[in-house]
Amino acid sequence: MAFCELKYFSNALGKATAANIILPEGEAKGPFAVFYLLHGLSDDHTVWLRRTSIERYVAGLPLIVVMPDGGRGFYCDAKEGMAWETAIAGDLLGYVDKMLPTRAERSGRCIGGLSMGGYGAAKLALKYPDLFGSANSHSGALAFAHRPFPEGSLEPRAVEFSRIAGVNPQGGPDDIFALAEKLEADKRPALRIDCGAEDFLLEDNRACHAHLEKLGYPHEYREFPGAHDWGYWDIHIQEALAFHMRNLGIERKGEGG
């Protein structure tokens, strides 16, 4: 696979930012499907390539993988801070579709991520169902913005997160539970959620799964041995890729009839 780093100016952020991109090689001319792959809270756009074998896993696929920087913004347009949601769903998608031979429609795009990025992937797919046909979350912080943050708390993360989503974000535009509930059935993107049985976010993932079941929202949900770490994510990104390939209508060479 070929690799490049995109440095671009985001109008939403008002600053330069970056994304790593894996490109198909060989005789395929495109247009290609695009997989947007989001990082977690403490990382940046380089981490998926540094900590997993994602490049090897997509080798031979007619697929572009875009791994953007998302700061610590939970892929939201912050109440007080930066507009990471618009930066990804607006600016970055526009750049990618303009510069590369993409399948620039819902059926040609998917999105996934881990932890903060798992939340971001699910939220962006549910909020912009015309942009993404499928989404996956590994160990996602899926209850972010579903519960109030302690008003007046001096705990650093409570202060940081309330500046992003507000003190009482539940039911609002960043609450995955509310977004799924409001989305019309014929517009639902395909969803896959997985989490490690030893992960500190397991109960939040179970709660989201139960909510989707209550809504009658078809989705894949799996729990596996493992914790909140790269050993877990490197294994299960392979299953997420298989999930997206089915939804994108892509077969590896040698597969199928």
Q: What's at 82, amino acid-wise? A: M
Torsional sign, CA 137, 205, 190, 132 = negative
176-187: average pLDDT: 98
Q: What is the pLDDT of residue 154?
A: 64
For residues 227, 231, 234 and 240, what is the CA-based torsion angle, rounded to 10 degrees? -20
Over 50: is that where the pLDDT of 256 sits? no
φ and ψ at 189, to 5 degrees? -70, 155
Alpha helices in the chain (DSSP H): 47-51, 54-57, 84-86, 93-99, 116-127, 156-165, 176-182, 202-215, 230-248
Indicate if the pLDDT at residue 257 is higher than 50.
no
Q: Are 65 and 33 in contact (CB under 8 A)?
A: no
What pLDDT is attached to residue 82?
98
* CATH number 3.40.50.1820 given to 2-248: yes
The string of pLDDT tens digits covering residues 80-122 is 999 999 999 999 999 999 999 999 999 999 999 999 999 999 9
pLDDT, one tens digit per residue, over 128-145 is 999 999 999 999 999 999
The pLDDT, as a whole number, for residue 27 is 78
Both structure tokens of 117 = 């990025």
Sign of the alpha-carbon dihedral angle for 251, 246, 187, 100: negative
Choose among 161, 127, 167, 156: nearest CA to 141: 161
